[in-house]
């Protein structure tokens, strides 16, 4: 049973899928988890362990931030993943992985707020956090739907979990010093966030290195596809939770109510994030529709022109059937029988040529707007015309063979057959030219669609960049409001002292 999940003999199948990463998106995944960790540690700092209300709220808020960060990092890393086979994600398992991330983060914050940062607390929370990150990773991998199987190399898999546990322990150990009110508290908090980012990213990418993905025999390779819908779901969820968390921290969510001083402009952050989320979702859905429409067009065109090439091959066989009668009559001397076969084959051949020409030229009409196809379309038309002009010559040559054979003039019949073979050879050249031209059109169309697909992907990158810029802008604005709120608190305190 273990063979189903693990590669125990160390043998990697030769048809295993090759994967690579888009490094800017990889860096984005690390940035997301570092930001989440920094925000979660800020929540932890503001929790008052002696206040039950503050502790409960802080545990929920910190778990939401850290859990979302872990979850968002995983699926951002999966968006960065590029492999040669089609893959998608199950919505419910994707949502389940978010719930798993929240539950483990909740357990970590619950322990962290109930006890001091002792060595025992650090080890326990490191184990919880490491196992939690690994659990999110594997539930997320189960959410991936592919035409193939996923198994793991045990050594690398164990290493990935150890990385998560060890780096989580190091981050929590750094946070032990943050608990003390020192001048370097912010720097230590950032250092802890960076190390915790290494824990989550290290587990994810080491876990992906341990994964061996083997496609099915009928798996479609190298399809144009987009993870826009996944990016929308992950991006909007992350933005909303991070944005609300920043707002709640600014509003003193973890402070006693009598010390709480609201800022009149806090709602601007949420308003900006909400509007941006709607715009981002709309643009992303539009881009996704464009990409899938392009893929559908590419698939339809591929099938159409491959079908035409099949028809040309069948036309070539039909032409061989015409020529065969002329050769066979020299062997069996059955003039009437071979004449009937010839005319039957000639009728089938002529009908096929006219039908294929009508279909191909009808499809070519839609390409005339693109000037690069005009020479190919002209070559197609010329080749069809040449084939139709040669057909009467074949009929005439065949009749000569049949007449010579009927008169018993074997030598003249043989010479007439040679003329017929030459005409057939000329006809075969035009059929091969048709096949080659249709192949060139097919390749040119796919290349054109590939260019469109690349452009659409660039639009996706722009949307992702805008999302990052928006998060940064909202964060900066939030910190400005936080600073203003603190100044208001100081001013209020001075007023109280004066009174």
The answer as to whether 464 is a domain residue is: yes
User: Residue 70: helix, strand or coil by DSSP?
Assistant: helix
State residue 203's pLDDT score: 92
Query: In this predicted model, what pLDDT tens digit does every residue of 207-249 receive, in sequence order?
Result: 999 888 888 766 656 555 656 667 777 777 777 777 777 767 7
The span from the CA of 491 to the CA of 8, in Å, is 67
State residue 383's pLDDT score: 85
Confidence bin at 259 (pLDDT 50/70/90)? very low
Mean pLDDT of 407-416: 78
Do 201 and 250 share a domain, yes or no?
Answer: no
Do 245 and 382 share a domain, yes or no?
Answer: yes
Helices 410-498, 228-250: inter-axial angle, 10-degree rounding: 0
Burial of 58 (0-12, 13-18, 19+ CB in 10 A): buried
Do 56 and 186 share a domain, yes or no?
Answer: yes
State residue 264's pLDDT score: 46
The answer as to whether 387 is a domain residue is: yes
Query: In this predicted model, what pLDDT tens digit does every residue of 5-43 receive, in sequence order?
Result: 777 666 777 777 788 888 888 998 999 999 999 888 888
Do 170 and 282 share a domain, yes or no?
Answer: no
Do 99 and 191 share a domain, yes or no?
Answer: yes
Confidence bin at 431 (pLDDT 50/70/90)? confident
State residue 80's pLDDT score: 87
Do 449 and 481 share a domain, yes or no?
Answer: yes
pLDDT at 262 over 50: no
Quick check: 121 and 108 in contact, CB under 8 A?
no
Q: Regarding beta strands 19-21 and 81-83, do their DSSP bridges make them parallel or antiparallel, or are they unpaired?
A: antiparallel
Tally of CB atoms within 10 A around 367: 18
Structural domain of residue 79, as residue ranges? 1-222
The distance of Cα 354 from the centroid of its chain, to the nearest Å, equals 43
Query: Which of 222, 238, 260 corresponds to the end of one domain?
Result: 222
pLDDT at 303 over 50: yes
The answer as to whether 49 is a domain residue is: yes
State residue 440's pLDDT score: 84
Confidence bin at 322 (pLDDT 50/70/90)? confident
Do 164 and 274 share a domain, yes or no?
Answer: no
The span from the CA of 109 to the CA of 58, in Å, is 8
**DSSP 8-state symbol, 230:** H
Do 300 and 178 share a domain, yes or no?
Answer: no
Do 218 and 228 share a domain, yes or no?
Answer: no
How many separate domains does the chain show? Answer: 2
Query: Which of 190, 222, 254 corresponds to the end of one domain?
Result: 222
90 vs 465, residue with greater confidence = 90
The answer as to whether 210 is a domain residue is: yes
Confidence bin at 82 (pLDDT 50/70/90)? confident
Do 118 and 156 share a domain, yes or no?
Answer: yes
The span from the CA of 421 to the CA of 419, in Å, is 5
Confidence bin at 113 (pLDDT 50/70/90)? confident
Confidence bin at 263 (pLDDT 50/70/90)? very low
Query: Which of 222, 247, 277 corresponds to the end of one domain?
Result: 222
The answer as to whether 196 is a domain residue is: yes
The answer as to whether 499 is a domain residue is: no
Do 175 and 280 share a domain, yes or no?
Answer: no
The span from the CA of 276 to the CA of 468, in Å, is 11
Structure tokens at 311: 């028809």
Do 187 and 247 share a domain, yes or no?
Answer: no
Q: What is the mean pLDDT of the chain?
A: 78
Q: Which span out of 1-10, 296-305, 391-400, 407-416 was modeled with the highest average pLDDT?
A: 391-400
Quick check: 370 and 413 in contact, CB under 8 A?
no
Let me know how long the chain is: 499
């Amino acid at each position: 049973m273990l063979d189903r999940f693990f590669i125990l003999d160390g043998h990697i199948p030769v048809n295993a899928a090759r994967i690579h990463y888009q490094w800017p998106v990889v860096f984005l995944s690390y940035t997301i988890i570092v930001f989440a960790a920094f925000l979660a540690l800020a929540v932890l700092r503001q929790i008052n362990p002696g206040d039950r209300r503050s502790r409960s709220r802080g545990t929920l808020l910190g778990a939401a931030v850290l859990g979302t960060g872990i979850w968002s990092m995983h699926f951002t890393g999966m968006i960065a993943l590029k492999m040669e086979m089609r893959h998608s994600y199950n919505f419910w398992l994707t949502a389940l992985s978010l719930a798993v991330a929240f539950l483990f983060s909740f357990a970590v914050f619950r322990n962290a707020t109930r006890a001091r940062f002792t060595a025992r607390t650090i080890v326990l929370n490191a184990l919880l956090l490491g196992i939690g990150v690994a659990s999110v990773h594997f539930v997320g991998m189960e959410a991936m739907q592919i035409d193939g199987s996923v198994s793991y190399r045990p050594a690398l898999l164990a290493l990935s979990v150890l990385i998560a546990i060890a780096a989580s322990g190091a981050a929590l150990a750094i946070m032990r010093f943050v608990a003390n009110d020192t001048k370097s508290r912010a720097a230590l908090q950032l250092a802890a966030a960076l190390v915790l980012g290494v824990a989550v990213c290290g587990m994810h990418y080491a876990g992906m290195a341990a994964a061996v993905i083997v496609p099915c025999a009928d798996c479609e390779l190298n399809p144009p596809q987009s993870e826009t819908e996944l990016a929308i779901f992950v991006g909007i969820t992350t933005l909303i939770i991070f944005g609300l968390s920043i707002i709640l921290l600014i509003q003193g969510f973890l402070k006693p109510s009598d010390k709480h001083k609201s800022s009149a402009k806090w709602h601007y952050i949420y308003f900006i994030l909400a509007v941006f989320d709607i715009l981002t979702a709309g643009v992303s859905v539009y881009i996704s529709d464009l990409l899938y429409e392009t893929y559908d067009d590419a698939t339809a065109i591929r099938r159409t022109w491959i079908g035409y090439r099949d028809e040309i091959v069948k036309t070539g066989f039909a032409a061989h059937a015409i020529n065969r009668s002329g050769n066979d009559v020299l062997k069996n001397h059955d003039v009437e029988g071979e004449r009937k076969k010839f005319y039957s084959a000639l009728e089938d051949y002529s009908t096929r040529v006219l039908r294929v020409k009508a279909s191909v030229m009808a499809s070519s009409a839609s390409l005339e707007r693109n000037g690069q196809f005009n020479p190919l379309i002209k070559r197609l038309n010329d080749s069809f015309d040449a084939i139709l002009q040669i057909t009467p010559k074949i009929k005439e040559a065949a009749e000569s063979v049949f007449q010579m054979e009927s008169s018993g003039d074997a030598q003249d019949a043989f010479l007439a057959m040679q003329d017929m073979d030459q005409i057939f050879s000329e006809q075969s050249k035009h059929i091969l030219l048709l096949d080659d031209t249709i192949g060139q059109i097919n390749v040119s169309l796919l290349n054109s669609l590939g260019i469109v697909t690349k452009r659409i992907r660039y639009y996706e990158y722009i949307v992702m960049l805008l999302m990052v810029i928006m998060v940064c802008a909202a964060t900066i604005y939030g910190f400005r409001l936080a600073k203003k709120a603190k100044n208001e608190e100081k001013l209020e305190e001075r007023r109280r002292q004066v009174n």
